[in-house]
Amino acid sequence: LSVLRNFTPFCPRFFLYCTLEECFSLLEDVKNQRTEAMGRKFRLGTHDHRKNEERKCAERKRAMSMVVSVPLSMVSLPQEELLCSLPLSVFTHSSATCASSLHNRLCHSEALKGWQDVGTDAERIVICKIQCQREVNINFSLIIEEDLSWKLSYCNHDLEANTCSLLANAPTKLTTVADVQALLMAAEEGKICVGNHDEKFLPLVEHRKSVFKDPTGTKIIAVYDKTLGPFPTIRHSDCEILMVRGSSLCCPKCTNFRGTLRAMLSQDSRRHSLEDRTNPSSHARYDLLSTPEKIQRMRRLHSLSRSNQKQLKRLQTRLAEMTENEGVDVDDALHEDLVTIVNDQSAHIESTHEQGTFQRLFWDQQKEALSTPDSRSRRWHPLMVKWCIYLRHLSSKAYEALRESGCVALPSQRTLRDYTHFVKAASGFSTAVDQQLMEAADIHTCEERDKYVVLILDEMHIKQELVYDKQTGALVGFVNLGEVNNHLIEYEQSILDEPSQQKLANSMMVIMVRGLFSRLEFPYVQFPCKAVTGDLLYNPFWEAVCRLERCGFRVMAATADGASPNRRLIKLHGCGKELVHKVSNPYAIPEERYLFFFSDVPHLLKTTRNAWASKKRQLWCNGKPILWKHLEDLYTQDRGNVDKPGWALLPKVKYEHVYLTSFSKMRVDLAAQVLSNTVAKALEMSGGSRAEETARFVTMFDKFFDCLNVRSFTAGRHSRNSFKSPYWSSKDFRLTWLKTQFLQYLDDWQKSVEQRPGDYSAGARKKMQLSEETLTGLRITVMSFLELVPYLFKIPGVKVFLSEKLCQDPLEKFFGRQRQRGRVNENPNAQSFCKNTQALRVVSSCVGSVKGNCRGSKTPTIEVEKENKPLPKRRYTRKRQHSDI
């Protein structure tokens, strides 16, 4: 073996570890540099131990691959210059004796790829892993002390090798770059223990104030953790936190502690039952009660009996007075006539309307009501209750007049309020609303594809006023964006030295859940707000995603219009000026799934038409203008054609399509009829070459709207337009068209404007194309659609997809029904909005269409067989007076 010797050591504690082949190559380079610079040479001394010439080649080959230590004193070059010229293996295996030496090796290697070097000083090295998905926070942090001892933390929780199995084989000191790289890779490849996050354990947390102690009460054995993982959970005090990927969901400590939690839950339930053994409503057996418990229970029963007798006498006296003063004799003749009519026409109705239709159900309910004189004994079908709630929502006075007429038997308004007020009408998130949503979607028995949903965000203007809630004693009408956002607003006011006062809300932000493959359209949560920003929407949006994922839904997309808060919300998920169209869903456990962002397609079509018709913009593409005047000339020519009366190239285009007002600019149907294939062909026929680019512009956006607004299975066949057909495959030709032609059309348009010859300012060139907000919304929508559709067809049971499911038309109709409740289309206040929302949640399956900005949708067919599930109803509990004798 050849070894290195006869060096003049100047720093004997630094060594480089490399193979002899690399070492000789390094020394040769250094030798040449030293010869040119200083005229000195390195001398290598060798010891020849080769006694057998036959093994000469084999030993040399093996020696060249061995790793030896070479003192840095062999070279007099500066250390930084030497480190820059060393091979990668030298950095990986070279040993360091202090933090600064190790930091120099880390800076010249790729070991910190994906990690942030916070910096170093004479005492320690700090390395962090920063996550920017929901908010900027530090996931992992590695601190290396001066003596090369280390400490790894996750979200401010220290990870110790004696409790974390993933770090069991890690060295006590990090002396080489390879040790640091192995530790960082192990941290990245691990997964977080989910602990015990079942909802049934939440009462244990509240009772023990988030801390679980041993029977002696001195040692903490578990805590309720809200900082680690995607949701709050109960962790053992010795939880591993970081686990090997591919193992179970939680560590062995948390798994074993699960049995302890079940035992605690059982003990609490037994203790609670024992406390209520003397309650008069308790079902405990008398033979299991002790003598003092029996005496106490009998005293309570006597007291309750006396109070009930007094209340009964008061009610009997009050009923007798009301009957004498306000009683009206019932006309028996009218009742007998109605019964006769129903019985005579029963056979005809049953033969006309089949079983399972709403008409037949209504007739059967009327027969049953007439045969039951006592209204308290009547039982109403759930669909009948929904229909009556909707009638009352339209007009409570008209409903009461119809009910008091005696011609139709309907439930009382008190009965309907028991169904609509089952959940308290309030803003913000609610566990009761989560349960109502799960029952509406039938989440436990539905097919897997019916669990995939999209979130729709939009806001509606409301009255700016305060209302006193007599049940809670609170004033309703202030801005309320959740506890976190409310504190942030107060903190901002304190920094700006503004008076700390609550602002009245003038709009209501609503998040609706819509099924991608089902008829689910559920207004999930609403927040009263004023001048809301994208930063304030961030936390409510992701909290909605988290709660829906925990309920069993699969949130795939989020749709919103092009308002500035919504654009800001999307930009918060990216870095810099990059275009963000998707983000990793951190609550999609255990699968990895993206959440795609969409800009509402009807709004994009409307803003495109408005930009075309705007006099402040002069659209220009490929050397030719795109003018609204081409459409005006075509309309004038078409309507002034006296030679052929009755013949028109544009029969659907009217005066309101061409000459826009502030109201007609908001109508999407007018924009869809202008940006249509009929208008494009008419422009090509009459406009010639001067309107060629205008016709192409109309054609491109007509096909774009048809691709992303498929709402029927037969529209494509009836109109002979394949762009309106449903999506049956992930390889549909329209996906290729959107990628290769539509997106390319937008890019070519932008390039042609930038390269147009002439002395145009930047602002003038921007006015030659669509607005930046519209172009960004178009690109985000198309890119998300191109990735979402192939993923959806991988879901079991998915055979067809309608792209209209990604639009926010249901939320626009929901706002129309809110205004419809105000009789004269006035905007409701915050309290009325919440109450109307709860009523519309109950009747979402049988409401009719509303005349508004959304056209082309008919009232859904009412399926009686699917609406026979009992509705949750508010139950009344009597106030009992318990006193000891």
In degrees, to the nearest 5, what angle opens at C-alpha 237 toward C-alphas 236 and 240? Answer: 75
| Average of per-residue pLDDT across 502-517 | 90
Smallest Cα–Cα separation from 609: which of 684, 660, 652? Answer: 660
User: Are the C-beta atoms of 766 and 749 separated by less than 8 Å?
Assistant: no
| Average of per-residue pLDDT across 297-303 | 87
**Distance (Å, rounded) from C-alpha 590 to C-alpha 561?**
31
Look at 194-198, 356-360, 675-679, 737-741 and tell me which has the smallest mean pLDDT. Answer: 356-360
The single-letter DSSP state of residue 277 is: T
Cα 602 versus chain centre, distance: 22
| Average of per-residue pLDDT across 450-460 | 93
| Average of per-residue pLDDT across 675-697 | 88
**Distance (Å, rounded) from C-alpha 802 to C-alpha 710?**
5
Alpha helices in 353-498 (DSSP H): 358-370, 382-394, 396-404, 413-420, 431-441, 483-495
**Distance (Å, rounded) from C-alpha 630 to C-alpha 628?**
5
Where does the pLDDT of residue 140 fall: very low under 50, low under 70, confident under 90, or very high at 90 and above? confident
Look at 259-268, 275-284, 526-535, 720-729 and tell me which has the smallest mean pLDDT. Answer: 275-284
62 Cβ contact list (under 8 Å, min separation 6): none
Tokens of 135: 């908010």
For 718-772, how does the pLDDT look when each residue is reduced to its tens digit (9 = 90+)?
A: 888 888 899 999 899 999 999 999 999 999 999 999 888 888 888 888 889 899 9
The single-letter DSSP state of residue 65 is: T
Whether this prediction's pTM lies above 0.75 is answered by no
- 455 or 226: which carries more pLDDT confidence? 455
Point out which residues pair with 736 in neighbouring strands. Answer: none
Look at 23-27, 117-121, 124-128 and tell me which has the smallest mean pLDDT. Answer: 23-27
**Distance (Å, rounded) from C-alpha 126 to C-alpha 119?**
6
For 763-805, how does the pLDDT look when each residue is reduced to its tens digit (9 = 90+)?
A: 888 889 899 999 999 999 999 999 999 999 999 889 999 999 9
pLDDT score of 815 more than 70: yes
Where does the pLDDT of residue 841 fall: very low under 50, low under 70, confident under 90, or very high at 90 and above? confident
For 581-617, how does the pLDDT look when each residue is reduced to its tens digit (9 = 90+)?
A: 999 999 988 788 999 999 999 999 999 999 999 888 8
Tokens of 694: 């205008």
Look at 74-78, 240-244, 406-410, 506-510 and tell me which has the smallest mean pLDDT. Answer: 74-78
| Average of per-residue pLDDT across 491-500 | 74
User: Are the C-beta atoms of 381 and 389 separated by less than 8 Å?
Assistant: no
In the three-class reduction of DSSP (H, G, I as helix; E, B as strand; rest coil), residue 459 is classed as strand
Mean pLDDT of the chain: 77
pLDDT score of 221 more than 50: yes
> With left for phi above 0 and alpha for psi between -120 and 50, is residue 231 left, alpha or beta?
beta
In degrees, to the nearest 5, what angle opens at C-alpha 719 toward C-alphas 717 and 723? Answer: 75
For 177-195, how does the pLDDT look when each residue is reduced to its tens digit (9 = 90+)?
A: 777 777 777 777 777 887 8
